[in-house]
A and B are shown apart, each in its own frame.
Chain A
Amino acid sequence: MVALARKTLIYEWRRFLPAILAVGFAGLLQLLQAALVLGIFGSASVYITGSSADLWAGYPGTQSVNLGRSIDAGVEMRLRMDPAVTAVEPFHWVDADWRGPSDTGGVSVFVSGINARPDGMLFAHALSPALRARLNEPDAVIVDRADLDSLGVGIGDSAVINGHRVRVVGVSNGLRALGGVNVVASLATAAELDTDPSNASRMTYFVAKLRDPAEADDVAARLRGNRAFGSYDVWTAESFARRSQLYWMFDTGAGAGVLFLAGVVFLVGAVITSQTLVAAVIGSVREYATLNALGVGVGALRKVVMEQAFWVGALGLLGSTVLGGIALALARSRSVPVALGPWTTVACLALCMGLAIVSGLAAMRSLRRADPATLLR
């Protein structure tokens, strides 16, 4: 079989280049957009994804982790009573006002009061044991390296949170948050910073580790709804993280924006690609008509056009994968929040292959002009 589609694509690559670029850039845009959105909104749940806890107990109906209200400290006992639970830890959340040594004005910060022991669950993935141990010093806090500028401090500098003096003892990566700056402190320091008297003997969250994390759904169902310890609810880390991300994505309207942009990118890509493929078909229409005169069926000719569309899509996607990989690596090295899972990648690439296929279908229509009778003049 003579590979007409591929040979034409290679020989007349200039003709097909706009389509390949259109698919490639559409793919690149979809990938980067998805990575940025997932990265930015993924940071809404950095407290959950950066921690090793399996279950989260908090105020009922909490839509996002940063919106927690305090629950009764007795919930800790309720969690410990369950035989599947191996460890429980409190998480003290304080919305606070930061004043740095340099002139940065007031900065809204989220203080996370955590257990500073080496086996602590909270921020287990974001803080090394050595860094975590430094939180045991009185009034010690840790911030993300990327937030140093906006906080106006360096390591070792002092600042004031809610009128209380603190000292930056270290920096970490992966603590960036949405809507404010994360400041990590020990539970004792956080308690000092919390100026709300109604929070005494109450805690924002309790997190628990399970003997078998696979049982998280069952244990969460078993633990929730017990009114003896006041109002509280229990979620698995996974569902609470997803809920927090979705809250930010849709509360800010970014989700709709992303879908709208994806649609625009698809449309623009499809218009360019289909026009290029149509031009390629029309450029060869007399040759196609000759083949049809010689008895090669219209179905076989359509297959040639679709094969070209497929190769245009494949080459475009190859380009967008390579460029996307480079762009993501660059973003990571600059602490730009990007996150891209395999399924999202596959979905973005499939969307662009769909774009190429739709364009091929559109170009196939112009094969109608390949009427061999028109060759007889």
Chain B
Amino acid sequence: MSSISLQARNVTKSFTSGPIHNTVLHNLTLDMRAGELTLISGPSGCGKSTLLAILSGLQRPDAGQVLALGQDLAELNTHALERFRLQHTGFVFQGFNLFPALNALEQVELPLSYLGLAPGEARRRAVASLEEVGLGPRMGLRPSELSGGEKQRVAIARALAKEPDLLFADEPTSALDAANGQIIIDILHRIARTHGTTVLCVSHDPRLVGHADRVLAMEDGRILSDRVPSPTSTPTSGLEEPSA
């Protein structure tokens, strides 16, 4: 079993909107391992996106601790957190969020240039990761010339080219048809396996369950189940394992 790369310890988060106080995450504790694709599934509003935001350092918890690659994220200020994200994390969002003016290769190169890589090295990495997601022949095209699935693959290549230790994906397939969704989840899975990356994917898409190494079912801010799916399993929630 590979090492634990991402940990949440008693994480609590709540939001206040006017007089309504809403606790989104209830004292969650969770470990994730490198080289695994972990899927957090659950109905919308269950707190899974908030959990992703906290684990990835985009939001801070009200209480509890997040250890990413052994680093307590609470100890980092905004600038250091940006630096940490630059060096260690990749993101894939539901919307592809690609700059309309840039072609696929430039989309992937853009964050690399901020890593301080030499232009030649940035270009080499960008080409390699576009080829890895199967877009080698289409890397000169702009978003308007790409299909939805291809755009999401560019977004994955953009995250992947940084060679992150942690890769976070939020509903990466929900804007895509079945075939493209299948391709995306396969790519994410392969990244976890071949690069040893910790891939955390949040989705309510039941088609993805069979492709994950581990599935966490969430509801109302709590983890209901934590299981290793069989290839044929369905996303019905169960309580095979209590939450950690």
Contacts and interface: CB of A to CB of B under 8 A. Distances in A.
Interface of A: 1-2, 4, 7-8, 10-12, 284, 286-287, 289-298, 300, 372-373, 375-377
B58 A293 contact: yes
A290 B101 contact: no
A376 B95 CA distance: 10
Interface in B95-118: 95, 97-102, 106, 109-111, 113-114
Nearest to B89: A295
A2 B113 contact: yes
Nearest to A9: B101
Given A11-B101, A295-B111, A297-B82, A377 B94 contact: yes
Given A8-B99, A292-B82, A375-B97, A2 B52 contact: no
Nearest to B159: A294
6 contacts: A4-B101, A8-B101, A286-B97, A293-B93, A296-B82, A376-B58
Contacts of A297: 79, 82-83, 86, 114
Given A294-B90, A376-B93, 19 more contacts: A2-B106, A2-B110, A2-B113, A4-B102, A287-B99, A292-B82, A293-B56, A293-B85, A294-B91, A295-B84, A295-B87, A295-B111, A296-B114, A298-B82, A300-B114, A375-B95, A375-B97, A376-B49, A376-B52
B160 to A, nearest CB: 11
A289 B95 CA distance: 12
B170 A4 contact: no
A293 B91 contact: yes
Nearest to B88: A295
A300 B102 CA distance: 17
Contacts of A10: 101
B43 interface: no
A295 B49 contact: no
A12 B99 CA distance: 11
Nearest to B162: A294
Q: Which of A287, A373, A376, A377 has the most CB of B within 10 A?
A: A376
B153 interface: no
A290 B90 CA distance: 10
Contact of A286 (B53, B83, B95, B113): B95
A287 B155 CA distance: 11
B214 interface: no
B234 interface: no
B100 A12 contact: yes
B233 interface: no
B170 to A, nearest CB: 5
Contacts of A7: 99, 101-102, 106
Given A7-B106, A289-B97, A295-B85, A372 B111 contact: no
A296 B59 contact: no
A108 B99 CA distance: 68
B58 A373 contact: yes
Contacts of A290: 91, 93, 97, 155
Q: Which 7 A-B pairs have the closest CB atoms?
A: A295-B86, A11-B101, A295-B85, A290-B97, A376-B49, A8-B101, A7-B101
Interface string B53-95: 1001011000000000000000000010011111101110111
Interface string B32-62: 0000000000000000011011001011000
Contacts of B85: 293-295
B80 to A, nearest CB: 11
Contacts of A296: 82, 86, 110-111, 114
Contacts of B110: 2, 4, 291, 296
Contacts of B170: 375-377
A12 B109 CA distance: 20
Given A2-B102, A7-B101, A294 B86 contact: yes
A293 B169 CA distance: 12
B158 interface: yes
Contact of B119 (A1, A292, A293, A295): A1
